[in-house]
Amino acid sequence: MEFVIEVDKLKKITRQNYLADGSRKENDAEHSWHLALMALVLCEHVGAEESPDLLRVIKMALIHDLVEIDAGDTYCYDEKANAGKRERELAAADRLFGILPPDQAREFRELWEEFEEQRTPEARFAAALDRLQPLTLNYIAGGKSWREHGISYSQVIKRNSSIGESSPALWKFTLNIIREAVRKGYIKENG
């Protein structure tokens, strides 16, 4: 129960992307829930020869950002803030997963590491969703966060190209969104 109470703090970690209606920024708990639901809905679009273990994907979706309780959310396009991110997150993983009984601590830590390293089809799919979800919300919200930060086409392509490694279908959808975002002025064309 100590862990369950501790991870409630995820609700207080604010992300850079906005909700679809643009009314406010999303928090990490909302993001994690949304990823888990997306995994259920979009799993048929995974490009792997074998269907991924959906429960494993959902577990990764739910725990992948828990470390941000201590490490904070680092904006993906902020190169300066991303320096030292791994070290901050490793320390957070040690503390947070250390609250759990040893068997659960080991399982959660292994799932978190698997997600971070994207070494399995499940991790690549979870990571693809982790890229697709904020991109989609940002587009629907009129590119609000992209415009606030002056994000360019090349930055968005570089950040999201790994989606195609998991799902060619989702990558096609992603490219369409990015092109439309440029056309509408949400993303700078060059840069």
Residues of the chain whose pLDDT is less than 50? none
CATH of the domain at 140: 1.10.3210.10
Cβ neighbours of residue 1 closer than 8 Å, sequence gap 6 or more: none
pLDDT of residue 91: 97
Look at residue 16 and tell me if it is in a domain.
yes
DSSP states of 22-43: SSSEEEHHHHHHHHHHHHHHHG
pLDDT of residue 49: 67
pLDDT of residue 191: 55
Q: How many structural domains is the chain composed of?
A: 1
Per the CB < 8 A criterion, the answer to whether 61 and 10 are in contact is no
Look at residue 190 and tell me if it is in a domain.
no
Look at residue 32 and tell me if it is in a domain.
yes
Phi, psi for residue 71 in degrees, rounded to 5: -85, -15
pLDDT of residue 48: 62
pLDDT of residue 139: 97
- Model pTM? 0.93
Q: Which domain holds residue 80?
A: 2-183
Look at residue 191 and tell me if it is in a domain.
no
Cβ neighbours of residue 180 closer than 8 Å, sequence gap 6 or more: 139
pLDDT of residue 62: 98
Q: How far apart are CA 174 and CA 167, in angstroms?
A: 10
